[in-house]
Amino acid sequence: MRMDSQAQDQRGTKIRRQESPMRIAYIAPIQGPTLVNRRPVVGNFSLGGRAKVQLIAELLQRNSHEVEVLSQGEVIVHQFKLYPGFCEPEPFHANIPVYYSSALPVKYLNGLWSGLSLLRIFKARHRASPFDAVMIYNLKPPQVACAEYAIQHLGLPVILEYEDDQFMEAAKSSFTSKFYLSKARRLLRSVSGCLAASPYLLAQAPEGVPKLLLPGVVGEAIVNATRQNQNSRRNWVVFSGTHYRTQGLEQLVIGWGMANLSGWQLHIAGHGEMTNRLQELAR
């Protein structure tokens, strides 16, 4: 049974108090299998982020909430080509649809197009069936645009899932980047809740809002693996995630060879721009 009474938090955002399950818009840049086949997105793959978004969405759905994932599916390789938006035909969960906005990866227009296109999808999905709350993954421009609209025009609470510091390189940013960073700062002061991967990120959220430190989320496969008999375990070290230059994977492989650990194996799973280079080093 839904209660129609409303309250306002300290920033003036209307919060609808509910006893029934909520309908949640989860705005996160994940890439499903069909998107990977249709668009060149390997360069901005985020396997770890995608896994975390999927697990959180499944947890919410398991607790009777209705979740829709909205993703910009952004292409970072500049080209004059329009990629139409679509609904993922192979979603990670049968009851959690994933909608991708269109992409036009033209230099200087790519980010703006992604933000406006994703906002159009958010508005359309809200008209089809109103959302009760919005979750955003980080403070990228498309997420900020949807969150601003949700707060200012729909009176919805916005919960920030904060994984990457948006302001670390602010001093080196261009004029356009600083403009988007200022919008991100304003939104950060207006969120109704925050879950973050570190205490430092969590401290950036305003005082007085609910906060949750969430360094990681694991699936049932990992939980079940920990129940294995100690005697059956092998001396393996595993990295699983995006093969990106900032991960230090090349140094890891080189260092592993230098360490020459007898009886131990290093396993690197995932994909990304450095996959071919890592395979060469491993050989």
253 φ/ψ angles, rounded to the nearest 5 degrees:
-65, -45
Under 8 Å between Cβ of 54 and 91: no
Strand partners, 201: none
Joined tokens for residue 79? 């080209």
Question: Residues 190-215, buried b or exposed e (16+ Cβ, 10 A)?
Answer: bbbbbbbbeeebbebbeeebebeebe
Output the tens digit of pLDDT for each of the chain's 283 residues: 233 334 444 444 444 444 589 999 999 999 999 998 999 886 666 777 888 899 999 999 999 999 999 999 888 888 999 999 999 999 999 999 999 999 999 988 988 999 999 999 999 999 999 999 999 999 999 999 999 999 999 999 999 999 888 787 655 556 667 888 899 999 999 999 999 989 999 999 999 999 999 987 777 777 777 777 767 778 999 888 888 877 889 999 999 999 999 999 999 988 888 889 999 998 8
15, 26, 38: which is closest to 121 by C-alpha?
A: 26
Rounded Cα gap, residues 140 and 111, in angstroms: 9
The rounded distance, in Å, linking the Cα atoms of 162 and 194 is 7
- Give the strand pairing for 158-162 and 193-196: parallel
Task: Please name the residue that has the structure tokens 């329009």.
Answer: 82
Asked whether 114 and 74 are in contact (CB, 8 A), the reply is yes
Which pair of tokens denotes residue 96?
């959690």
Strand pairing class (265-271; 236-242): parallel
- Nearest CA among 77, 100, 84, 94 for reference residue 30: 100
From the list 13, 8, 5, 52, the residue with the least C-alpha distance to 191 is 13
Half-sphere exposure of 66 (CA within 13 A, CB side): 10
pLDDT recorded at residue 174: 64
Record the pTM: 0.80
Please tell me the predicted confidence (pLDDT) of residue 240: 82
Question: What does the angle CA 5 – CA 9 – CA 11 come to, to the nearest 5 degrees?
Answer: 135
